[in-house]
Amino acid sequence: MPDRNTTLPAATAKFIFVTGGVTSSLGKGIISASLAKLLQARGFRVTIQKFDPYINIDPGTLNPYEHGECYVTDDGAETDLDLGHYERFLNTPTSQANNVTTGRIYDTVIRREREGAFLGKTVQVVPHITDEIKRRMLLLGQDNRFDVVITEIGGCIGDIESLPFVEAVRQLRWELPPNDSLVIHLTLLPYLKAAGELKTKPTQHSVRDLREAGLQPDILVCRSEYPIPPDMRRKIALFCNVKINSVIESLDADSIYSVPLLMLKEQLDERVIKKLKLTGGAVHPDLEAWKDFLGRLKNPTEEVTIALVGKYVELPDAYKSINEAFVHAGAHNECKVTVRSIQSDHINPDNIAQLLHGVDGVLVAPGFGERGFEGKIEAVRYVRENQIPFFGICLGMQVAVVEYGRHVLNLPGANSTEMDAQTPNPVIAMMEEQKNVTQKGGTMRLGAYDCELRKGSKAAKAYARNHISERHRHRYEFNNAYLEQYEAAGMVASGRNPETGLVEVIELTNHPWFVAGQFHPELKSTVQNPHPLFVRFVKAAIQHRKV
């Protein structure tokens, strides 16, 4: 057996591992982000990483109905949507290092085996796979960039897929110095209506499964619909072998942004600080800005209804960042934003007026493929002709360009080559560098790119500056061969990439608010910095409602 600390690269951070049991969707990401926020508010440098047990290299090729939205980082990584929560809470960017899947782990190990890195040894889950997992878990804790690294383990304890991650955490807890790591386990206390009480047995069984895998939780966070009685806390502590004050109550919240304050009340951050022997932080977290945000969020003076037109609206997580960006922008404007989701498949010229009746703005969402494309065309035409505020994102911008080409420029068969490869007027066409790409995963135009905004444009006024950087995820672009025609007819390219000339933003000069971007602004909206395009769009919707 190797001696403690001899097999690991030097780490300067403390490590928190968050696991979950009983059921999925309990909110490990929100608990992780809330704890990170509390520690950050005390002055500690914190980051969060997500380890997902599925075998895909990344979620980039997954259908949104399978996994929700694909979140893109500045460095071009297609990642789990939980990274969006991390960024929205902490207001700090994540990277490819913050999201790792089983597929990426195995891909790395197999590539190294093919290169002869293991000197003829038999490659096994232990130690080779677990060693690679441990290396990735420790990566962000080096170079003195962070004081605390929180690692969220996807899936549930007991799942076959999660076992190598749990084993890696077990080994790390053995190898790291005392007080340098801890495990938080999130469980569910179901309420049985017939019995009229909360039940602890699922939590006990979940902790038993965790202990059978070699991990003893230091802190239990128990999701519940009702307050946990003191005697029940003692019972959980006794049978799960944790201190009573380490049994944390997590009640259902009216907003995910209330959870940090609920965890503060439960003293989750204090328990973590004591167990990790963290020093140097403030005695009390500075959450004044966060409380101010919550105050504006919960006490709006205005209300608007925004139609979200997309093809994945049945699953809210498919447009998670867009929905959260509306929360941020709404709070900034002291406005309650009600999002009305409309399936673009269902839109046609006969029902569009009915579907959009009473809305104060329309956002056409990103997506891929021709399903629902014509419905989006109808939605854009309706808002353009009726002077309703419009915001298009990625495919939403391309839809606006196609609609304008067909109905204003009268270009026969104007379309995107994604929808019709033989269109006589390809106003949207595949990017030149994408034409020889054959693999699907990670091959789009991904990550942050610069954009120069036209002075005096709606977009420039919203940003209050002319040079911006935004995140992208697309293969198709505005065909610049048509740019002169479009601008002469009133649709201007108000934002362009300074190196390639790629059109990044289009807007109409004769419309109160008709702006669309090739990029994904929703990915950079946070509690602390609501995205300016969303802020200005909501403001335009408020003004439209008053007309």
Catalytic choice (132, 418, 507, 522): 522
Query: What is the SS3 assignment for 185?
Result: strand
Amino acid at 214: G
- 134, 167 in Cβ contact below 8 A? no
Output the six-digit token pair for 418: 């994604």
Torsion sign across C-alpha atoms 212, 110, 76, 54: negative
Give the DSSP per-residue string, 76-138: --EE-THHHHHHHHH-----GGGEEEHHHHHHHHHHHHHTTTTTTPPP-IIIIIHHHHHHHHH
Round to whole Å and give the CA distance between 385 and 382. 5
Pairing of strands 390-393, 361-364: parallel
φ/ψ of 523, rounded to 5, equals -75, -15
Round to whole Å and give the CA distance between 453 and 468. 8
Length of the chain: 547
Round to whole Å and give the CA distance between 289 and 90. 12
Round to whole Å and give the CA distance between 416 and 474. 13
Pairing of strands 467-474, 445-453: antiparallel
φ/ψ of 540, rounded to 5, equals -65, -35
Catalytic choice (128, 394, 403, 511): 394
- 478 beta partners: 428
Output the six-digit token pair for 337: 């934003």
Q: Could you confirm whether 303 is annotated as catalytic?
A: no
Q: Which residues have C-beta within 8 Å of that of residue 40, sequence separation ≥ 6?
A: 46, 90
State the DSSP code for 227. Answer: P
Round to whole Å and give the CA distance between 258 and 261. 6
Range list of H helices, 152-240:
163-175, 201-212, 230-240
Q: Could you confirm whether 394 is annotated as catalytic?
A: yes
H/E stretch holding 371 reads none
Rg (the chain; Cα; Å): 25
Output the six-digit token pair for 246: 């380490």
Q: What percent helix, strand, coil does the chain show, rounded to 5?
A: 40, 20, 40
- 191 beta partners: 198
Round to whole Å and give the CA distance between 361 and 390. 6
Q: Could you confirm whether 69 is annotated as catalytic?
A: no
- 177, 5 in Cβ contact below 8 A? yes
Catalogue the active-site residues. 394, 520, 522
